[in-house]
């Protein structure tokens, strides 16, 4: 049976946690961060701090398009944002009305491609820069060697998690 851990434990875990507890502390901290960072309230606060008047789902759509090279199909957007097709259509219409995206026929002309407009790329850039500033602030008091190691290892860690197959023990 796995030991009991709380998110508070993860937040208080020492930097030199032993090898048995370090992965649990890391998972709890990561889960807490993802939950907070992707919450509607946090997305609303970041957008407002940037002077952007978009709802949290629209902000998430801009992030999705921005980190996907600027374009995606409506079905991918719906799947990634966990929206119904009608809700996605309404969202895309709202973003298009704000001149944040453009629609075009895909190369095979069987579907539509959604792309960030120049204004959409600029808005995504403002949001992305706000995230960079938050990360810089969160690590500002760290020794340079730790900051450098963290910024070097985090992309590798994320890539490993994003490509690793799900694992687990069967629950009886």
pLDDT of residue 105: 82
Please report which helix (H) or strand (E) contains residue 105, including its range: strand 101-105
Domains in the chain: ranges and CATH = 46-125 (1.10.10.10)
Closest by CA to 28, choosing from 52, 5, 54, is 5
How high is the pLDDT of residue 6?
53
CA–CA dist 121, 65 (Å, integer)? 9
pLDDT, position 17:
59
Burial 29-51, CB ≥16 within 10 A → b, else e: eeeeeeeeeeeeeebeebbeeee
DSSP string, 30-65: HHHHHHHHTSHHHHHHHHHHTT----HHHHHHHHHH
pLDDT at 2: 47
What's the pTM?
Answer: 0.80
- The tens place of each residue's pLDDT in the chain, 172 residues long, gives 444 555 455 555 555 556 678 888 888 989 999 999 999 999 999 999 999 999 999 999 999 999 998 899 999 999 999 999 999 999 999 999 999 999 988 776 777 899 999 999 999 999 999 999 999 999 999 999 999 999 999 999 999 988 988 887 776 6
pLDDT at 50: 95
pLDDT of res. 74: 93
């Amino acid at each position: 049976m796995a030991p009991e851990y709380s998110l508070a434990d993860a937040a208080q875990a020492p930097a030199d946690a032993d090898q048995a507890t370090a992965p649990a502390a890391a998972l709890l901290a990561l889960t807490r961060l993802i939950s907070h960072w992707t919450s509607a309230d946090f997305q609303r606060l970041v957008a407002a701090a940037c002077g952007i008047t978009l709802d949290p789902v629209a902000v998430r759509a801009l992030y999705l398009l921005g980190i996907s090279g600027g374009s995606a199909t409506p079905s991918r957007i719906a799947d990634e944002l966990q929206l119904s097709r009608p809700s996605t259509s309404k969202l895309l219409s709202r973003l298009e009305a704000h001149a944040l995206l453009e629609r075009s026929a895909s190369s095979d002309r069987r579907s539509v491609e959604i792309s960030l407009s120049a204004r959409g790329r600029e808005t995504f850039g403002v949001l992305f820069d706000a995230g960079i500033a938050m990360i810089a602030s969160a690590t500002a008091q760290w020794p340079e060697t730790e900051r450098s190691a963290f910024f070097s290892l985090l992309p590798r860690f994320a890539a490993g998690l994003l490509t690793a197959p799900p694992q687990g023990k069967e629950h009886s």
